[in-house]
Structure 1
Amino acid sequence: MSVFVIGYYAALICASCLAAYFNYRKVFMMVFSLTLISFVLGIIGGVPALRNVTIAAGMLALAAGVSYAFREFLIQIAKPDLAKELRTAPLTASFGMFVVFTYAIAGIFAPWIAPYGEAEVITSAFAPADRDMLLGADQLGRDVFSRLIYGARNTVGIALVATILAFIMGALAGLLAAVKGGWFDQVMGRFADVIMSIPSLIFALLMLSILGPKIWVIVIVVAIIYAPRVFRLTRAVAGNIVVMDYIEAAKLRGEGDWYLIRREILPNSTAPLIAEFGLEFCFVFLLIAGLSFLGLGIQPPTADWGSMVRENATLISFGDITPLIPAAAIALLTVSVNFVVDWMLFRSSGLKEQ
């Protein structure tokens, strides 16, 4: 038995005993569960399996530490009311906010962060990684790391614009339908049903094949696809508000529809709408990346994560994980946004942690 194995199990057992002694129940259950899992994996996979578990546990510990530090940073710079809310945020939400912040910095400052241009050919095709190219080159000899950074601007930026447009159209239609009711509500509801009955990917592929994969076409088509979902939620939330007594009082005062929307309904439906915005962004982001992977999304030479996976997919056959890096970037942002949205939904639900 190697020194590494002895030290590994000794560290886990000592940590479990300390957690039990100081009555940290959650920490004890987590560490001792890791000890049992490591024991089984050690029998099956030997020392390499334990090293992989150590690396994974170290990465989780690093992520937890970064999340905690970033949450404390936000608490220090936030206003008192917001700081009080941030103190209740779980580490998963803090991690999600940190990832979103990192992606935003990468997208905004891409020309200064990326060592090369997104379409600049600097070497031969599929050149290996070196000190000048951290992730190697793609099928045309362009720096994969630079295109990954620019992809944060292009893929995320276009998805954000499409989400904002979908939200404006859907939320505005939902609020007007709730306030006006009658035939307008019925017409908008049936129109939303028609759009939602068409599979989103088929509808997007059809429209992009007809109109061409231009960026403005992608934004409008994706916004039309997801606006009915926003309409449904907004109509449901606003429908529960318009029957309240203070809405009736405002109507008796002679207030118009826009006043009711701006001053009465919208402020009382902000929390679920913000959470819905995060969820819609994830759907839009994945759809745009999927369209780019199929060749009808963002067109070359513009850097895009979906097209980067398609262009470098042949490397997987040679055991190179480079194509998986943009795929991992897509997955990481989606999971991170969902972490933040889950926390916001928990807050808006009025539940309290036990």
Structure 2
Amino acid sequence: MSVFVIIYFACLIASSCLAAYYEKRPTFLTLFSLTLISFVLGIVGGVPALRFVATAAGLLAFAAGISFAFREFIVIIAPANISKEVRTAPLTAAFGMFVIFTYAIAGIFAPWIAPYGESEVIASAFAMPDENMLLGADQLGRDMFSRIIYGARNTVGLALLATLAAFFMGAFAGLLAATKGGWFDQFMGRFADVIMSIPSLIFALLMLSIFGPQVTVIIVAVAIIYAPRVFRLTRAVAGNVVVMDYIEAAKLRGEKTWYLIRKEILPNSTAPLIAEFGLEFCFVFLLVAGLSFLGLGIQPPTADWGSMVRENATMISFGEITPLIPAAAIALLTVAVNFVVDWMLFRSSGLKE
């Protein structure tokens, strides 16, 4: 039995005993369950399996610590009403907010964070990582770390703009349809059904093939694809609001449609719409990355995570994980946004209760 195994199980058992002594039941169950799992994995897989479990547990503990510290930081600096809400947020939501904050900082300050330009050739093709290139070079000799930092600005920025366009179109149409009713509501509903019946990826590929892979075309195509989804939810939420008594009272006062939408309906529909915005961003983000992977998204030499995966995929055959880093960046942001959206749904809308 190696020293690592002895120290590993000693730490787990000691931590479990301390948690039981101080009556920290959830912590005790977690630690002792990890001890039992490690015991079984140690018998089956030996020391390598235990090292893997220890590394995974260490990463989870580190993420939990960062999430807790970031949540406390927001509680201290935020206004009182926001601090009260954030204080009750689970660690998963705090982790999601920390990841989103990190991506935002990387995207905004990319020229100052990245050591090289996004299209600057500084080494030979597929050069190995060194003290100057943390992640090595790509197929043209450009710094992978710098391109990933710039990709946070380009990929996430494009997805955010496309989501804003889709959300504005869909939400405005849904609120207007719920308020007007009648033939306009029926027409918008059937039109949304027609758009939703078209596969999103095929529609995007058709638009980009006809008009070319330009940023404006991508934004318009994505907005057309996802606006009907926002319309359906907005129409459903606003439809439950327009039948309320205070809406009827506002109509009897002679209030116009725009006043009803802006002052009465929209404030009472905010919670599910904000959650829907986060979900739509995830869908749009994955679609934009997928289009770039197919070569019809953001065009070279602009750094983009989807195209970086495609351009450096051959490195996987040589045991290099560099192409997986931009893919992991895409997956991490998607999971982080879903964590935050899940908490907002549970806290505000009550849809999960």
Q: TM-score range by the shorter chain?
A: over 0.9
Structure 2 partner of 1:69: 69
Write the mapping of 1:47-86 to structure 2, written as runs, cut at 5 A. 47-86=47-86
Write the mapping of 1:2-17 to structure 2, written as runs, cut at 5 A. 2-17=2-17
Q: How far apart, CA to CA, are the structure 1 residues paired with 2:124 and 2:351?
A: 57
TM-score by length of 1: 0.98
1:250: Cα distance to partner? 0.1
Structure 2 partner of 1:236: 236
Q: How far apart, CA to CA, are the structure 1 residues paired with 2:160 and 2:187?
A: 28
Structure 2 partner of 1:30: 30
1:21: Cα distance to partner? 2.0
Q: How far apart, CA to CA, are the structure 2 residues paired with 1:60 and 1:13?
A: 18
Secondary structure of the equivalent of 1:301? coil
Q: How far apart, CA to CA, are the structure 1 residues paired with 2:139 and 2:72?
A: 43
Write the mapping of 1:130-149 to structure 2, written as runs, cut at 5 A. 130-149=130-149
Structure 1 partner of 2:246: 246
Structure 2 partner of 1:318: 318
1:347: Cα distance to partner? 0.7
Per-residue displacement from partner, 1:85-118 (whole Å, max 9, x unpaired)? 0110000000000000000000000000000100
Q: Aligned pair 1:292/2:292, yes or no?
A: yes
Q: How far apart, CA to CA, are the structure 2 residues paired with 1:197 and 1:268?
A: 30
The unaligned stretches of length 5 or more in structure 2 are none
Q: How far apart, CA to CA, are the structure 1 residues paired with 2:349 and 2:18?
A: 36
Write the mapping of 1:39-50 to structure 2, written as runs, cut at 5 A. 39-50=39-50
Structure 2 partner of 1:308: 308
1:166: Cα distance to partner? 0.4
1:198: Cα distance to partner? 0.6
Q: How far apart, CA to CA, are the structure 1 residues paired with 2:237 and 2:7?
A: 56
Per-residue displacement from partner, 1:4-44 (whole Å, max 9, x unpaired)? 11111111111112212222121111111111111111112
Secondary structure of the equivalent of 1:298? coil
Q: How far apart, CA to CA, are the structure 2 residues paired with 1:227 and 1:44?
A: 51
- 1:35 to 1:208, Cα distance in 2 relative to 1, 3 A: same
- 1:315 to 1:352, Cα distance in 2 relative to 1, 3 A: closer
Which moves more between the two structures, 48-57 or 247-256? Answer: 48-57
Structure 2 partner of 1:269: 269
1:350: Cα distance to partner? 4.0
Q: How far apart, CA to CA, are the structure 2 residues paired with 1:350 and 1:205?
A: 37
Structure 1 partner of 2:113: 113
Q: How far apart, CA to CA, are the structure 1 residues paired with 2:212 and 2:328?
A: 28
Q: How far apart, CA to CA, are the structure 1 residues paired with 2:86 and 2:71?
A: 7
1:202: Cα distance to partner? 0.7
Secondary structure of the equivalent of 1:65? helix
Per-residue displacement from partner, 1:107-137 (whole Å, max 9, x unpaired)? 0000000001001111110000000000000
Amino-acid identity (%): 82
The unaligned stretches of length 5 or more in structure 1 are none
Secondary structure of the equivalent of 1:131? coil
Which amino acid is 1:101 matched to? F
- 1:246 to 1:87, Cα distance in 2 relative to 1, 3 A: same
Per-residue displacement from partner, 1:244-280 (whole Å, max 9, x unpaired)? 0000000000000000000000000111100000000
Structure 1 partner of 2:129: 129
1:291: Cα distance to partner? 0.4
Write the mapping of 1:170-181 to structure 2, written as runs, cut at 5 A. 170-181=170-181
Q: Aligned pair 1:344/2:344, yes or no?
A: yes
Q: How far apart, CA to CA, are the structure 1 residues paired with 2:154 and 2:5?
A: 46
Q: Aligned pair 1:155/2:140, yes or no?
A: no
1:327: Cα distance to partner? 0.2
1:349: Cα distance to partner? 3.1
